[in-house]
Amino acid sequence: MRREGADPVRKGRPWSLPLDFDESGPLGIRPTAGSCWAEKGHPDRLPATYRRTHEFTYFRGCYPIGDDQLWGVNRRRKGIDHTWAALRSIRAARPDGAPVYVRLDNLSTHLNWRIRRWATRNRVELCFTPTYASWANFIEAHFGPLRQFTLANSHHPNHTVQAQALHAYLRWRNQNARHPDVLTAPRRERARIRCEKGIRWGERHPTTMAA
């Protein structure tokens, strides 16, 4: 995996289908509160931050549901070009020419006509979640544990170190996909997201019902 961005293409056996794709961020360089183990009477304190000289990055993740593996890449900004590059990497992971089904939200960078035309020509089916229903994308539930394990109670000096922590977690998580903590964390995150949205499976969004 590269420092600025790890190529999401996995080496070896092609991914199973379908896949979930989404972005998480912005990720800044600043002290981030969280919980951790500390010696009794000596809490781990975070410094104050008054001047921030680093830009933001965005994590783009890919989650093959059948494989239960999480892969990702860090980029300096959001944009059509980076989304397109990620989708081309996903397409390249299935050199057998089989159709690729990618579930993602209806963000404007996903709806660009050039991306949709390329997807049609390359047998990539873009399955967009409805408005106010991005929580239905399974990868959303994995972003919470990703932040909790790598960003909570952290003070990374730069984006390189932050990316190293993210990628170290991805490697550990994929090697221990059946670990009880790995199985429990996404379920809690999914319940938290749905509780905040006030939505249950199969129900309409409250604002739509009010209208």
**Which pLDDT does position 125 carry in this prediction?**
92
Q: How far apart are CA 192 and CA 85, in angstroms?
A: 31
Does residue 41 belong to any structural domain of this protein? no
Q: Is residue 168 part of a domain?
A: yes
Task: Count structural domains, the chain.
Answer: 1
Find the CATH number of the domain harbouring 141: 3.30.420.10
* Residue 76: inside a domain: yes
Q: What is the pLDDT of residue 175?
A: 92
Cβ burial 79-114 (10 Å sphere, 16+ → b, else e): eeebbbbbbebbbebbeeeeebebbbbeeeebebee
The verdict on residue 152 lying in a domain is: yes
Q: How far apart are CA 79 and CA 76, in angstroms?
A: 10
Domain membership of residue 187 (yes or no) is: yes
For 162, the domain range is: 19-25+54-198
What is the residue-level pLDDT of the chain in tens, covering all 211 positions?
A: 344 444 444 444 555 568 899 888 888 888 777 776 666 776 677 777 777 778 888 888 889 888 888 888 888 877 888 888 889 988 988 888 889 999 998 888 888 999 999 999 999 999 998 887 777 888 888 888 888 888 888 888 888 888 898 999 899 999 998 888 888 888 888 777 777 655 554 455 555 544 4
Beta strand 124-128 pairing with 19-27? unpaired
Residue 139 lies in a domain: yes
Q: Domain for residue 101, yes or no?
A: yes
pLDDT of residue 11: 47
